[in-house]
Protein backbone atom coordinates (compact mmCIF):
# COMPACT_ATOMS: atom_id res chain seq x y z
CA UNK A 1 0.00 0.00 0.00
CA UNK A 2 2.88 2.37 0.83
CA UNK A 3 4.45 1.71 -2.59
CA UNK A 4 1.17 2.55 -4.28
CA UNK A 5 0.90 5.81 -2.33
CA UNK A 6 4.48 6.77 -3.23
CA UNK A 7 3.84 5.94 -6.88
CA UNK A 8 0.72 8.13 -6.88
CA UNK A 9 2.65 10.97 -5.25
CA UNK A 10 5.38 10.73 -7.90
CA UNK A 11 2.79 10.81 -10.68
CA UNK A 12 1.12 13.84 -9.11
CA UNK A 13 4.47 15.62 -8.74
CA UNK A 14 5.39 14.89 -12.36
CA UNK A 15 1.99 16.19 -13.45
CA UNK A 16 2.54 19.42 -11.48
CA UNK A 17 5.98 19.93 -13.03
CA UNK A 18 4.56 19.38 -16.49
CA UNK A 19 2.01 22.14 -16.05
CA UNK A 20 2.46 25.49 -17.74
CA UNK A 21 3.99 28.23 -15.61
CA UNK A 22 1.89 30.52 -13.43
CA UNK A 23 -0.19 32.90 -15.45
CA UNK A 24 -0.10 30.74 -18.57
CA UNK A 25 -3.25 29.96 -20.47
CA UNK A 26 -4.47 26.49 -19.32
CA UNK A 27 -5.27 25.74 -22.97
CA UNK A 28 -1.49 25.64 -23.59
CA UNK A 29 -0.93 22.80 -21.11
CA UNK A 30 -0.53 20.15 -23.78
CA UNK A 31 1.81 22.39 -25.75
CA UNK A 32 4.09 22.80 -22.72
CA UNK A 33 3.92 19.05 -22.04
CA UNK A 34 4.93 18.39 -25.64
CA UNK A 35 8.21 20.30 -25.37
CA UNK A 36 11.05 17.78 -25.75
CA UNK A 37 14.81 18.20 -25.71
CA UNK A 38 15.96 17.97 -29.35
CA UNK A 39 18.89 15.63 -28.77
CA UNK A 40 17.32 13.17 -26.31
CA UNK A 41 13.56 13.48 -26.71
CA UNK A 42 13.32 13.94 -22.94
CA UNK A 43 10.42 16.19 -21.87
CA UNK A 44 11.54 19.71 -21.00
CA UNK A 45 8.76 20.45 -18.53
CA UNK A 46 9.06 17.33 -16.45
CA UNK A 47 12.63 18.31 -15.64
CA UNK A 48 12.43 22.07 -15.29
CA UNK A 49 10.07 24.97 -15.29
CA UNK A 50 9.51 26.46 -18.69
CA UNK A 51 8.77 30.15 -18.60
CA UNK A 52 8.20 33.02 -20.94
CA UNK A 53 11.19 35.31 -21.05
CA UNK A 54 12.95 37.91 -23.13
CA UNK A 55 15.22 36.75 -25.92
CA UNK A 56 17.52 38.37 -28.43
CA UNK A 57 19.69 37.34 -31.33
CA UNK A 58 23.35 37.44 -30.40
CA UNK A 59 26.35 37.04 -32.69
CA UNK A 60 26.23 33.24 -32.60
CA UNK A 61 22.55 32.57 -31.96
CA UNK A 62 19.98 33.22 -29.26
CA UNK A 63 20.37 34.59 -25.75
CA UNK A 64 17.66 34.50 -23.08
CA UNK A 65 17.17 36.62 -20.00
CA UNK A 66 17.45 34.47 -16.88
CA UNK A 67 16.26 36.13 -13.68
CA UNK A 68 14.71 35.42 -10.27
CA UNK A 69 11.82 33.50 -11.85
CA UNK A 70 14.36 30.80 -12.69
CA UNK A 71 16.04 30.81 -9.28
CA UNK A 72 18.90 33.07 -10.40
CA UNK A 73 20.29 35.90 -8.34
CA UNK A 74 19.72 39.01 -10.37
CA UNK A 75 19.30 38.99 -14.13
CA UNK A 76 21.72 37.89 -16.81
CA UNK A 77 21.67 37.13 -20.52
CA UNK A 78 22.48 33.47 -21.13
CA UNK A 79 23.52 31.92 -24.43
CA UNK A 80 21.24 29.19 -25.76
CA UNK A 81 23.21 26.22 -27.12
CA UNK A 82 22.17 25.70 -30.77
CA UNK A 83 21.14 22.11 -30.04
CA UNK A 84 18.59 23.30 -27.49
CA UNK A 85 16.54 25.46 -29.88
CA UNK A 86 13.21 23.84 -30.75
CA UNK A 87 11.90 24.33 -34.27
CA UNK A 88 8.17 24.39 -33.61
CA UNK A 89 5.20 26.72 -33.60
CA UNK A 90 4.98 28.94 -30.53
CA UNK A 91 1.40 29.78 -29.53
CA UNK A 92 2.43 31.79 -26.45
CA UNK A 93 3.43 34.85 -28.46
CA UNK A 94 6.70 35.14 -26.50
CA UNK A 95 10.01 33.29 -26.25
CA UNK A 96 9.90 30.29 -23.89
CA UNK A 97 12.90 28.79 -22.11
CA UNK A 98 13.23 25.72 -19.90
CA UNK A 99 16.10 26.32 -17.50
CA UNK A 100 17.69 24.74 -14.43
CA UNK A 101 20.27 26.78 -12.49
CA UNK A 102 22.68 23.84 -12.12
CA UNK A 103 22.34 22.68 -15.72
CA UNK A 104 21.41 25.70 -17.84
CA UNK A 105 19.09 25.90 -20.83
CA UNK A 106 17.33 22.62 -21.54
CA UNK A 107 15.00 23.86 -24.29
CA UNK A 108 14.24 27.14 -26.00
CA UNK A 109 11.32 28.01 -28.25
CA UNK A 110 11.89 31.24 -30.19
CA UNK A 111 9.12 33.81 -30.40
CA UNK A 112 6.74 33.61 -33.32
CA UNK A 113 7.92 35.44 -36.40
CA UNK A 114 6.47 38.90 -36.61
Other CB atoms within 10 A of residue 48 CB: 21
Burial class (CB in 10 A: 0-12, 13-18, 19+), 79: middle
DSSP letter at 26 equals: G
Domain that holds residue 93: 2-109
Q: Is residue 103, in this structure, part of any structural domain at all? A: yes
User: Is 114 domain-assigned?
Assistant: no
Q: How many domains does the chain have?
A: 1
Task: Check whether 22 has a pLDDT greater than 90.
Answer: no
Query: Is the pTM here over 0.85, yes or no?
Result: no
Q: Does 20 score more than 60 pLDDT?
A: no
- 62-81 pLDDT, tens per residue? 999 999 888 888 999 999 99
> 49 or 101: whose pLDDT is higher?
101
CA angle, 102 then 108 then 111, to 5°: 145
Q: Give me the percent of the chain exceeding a pLDDT of 70.
A: 75
Alpha carbon of residue 7 to chain centroid: 25
Amino acid sequence: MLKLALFGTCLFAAEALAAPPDGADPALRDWFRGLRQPQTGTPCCSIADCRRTEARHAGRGWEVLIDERFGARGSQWTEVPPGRVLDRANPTGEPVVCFLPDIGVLCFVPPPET
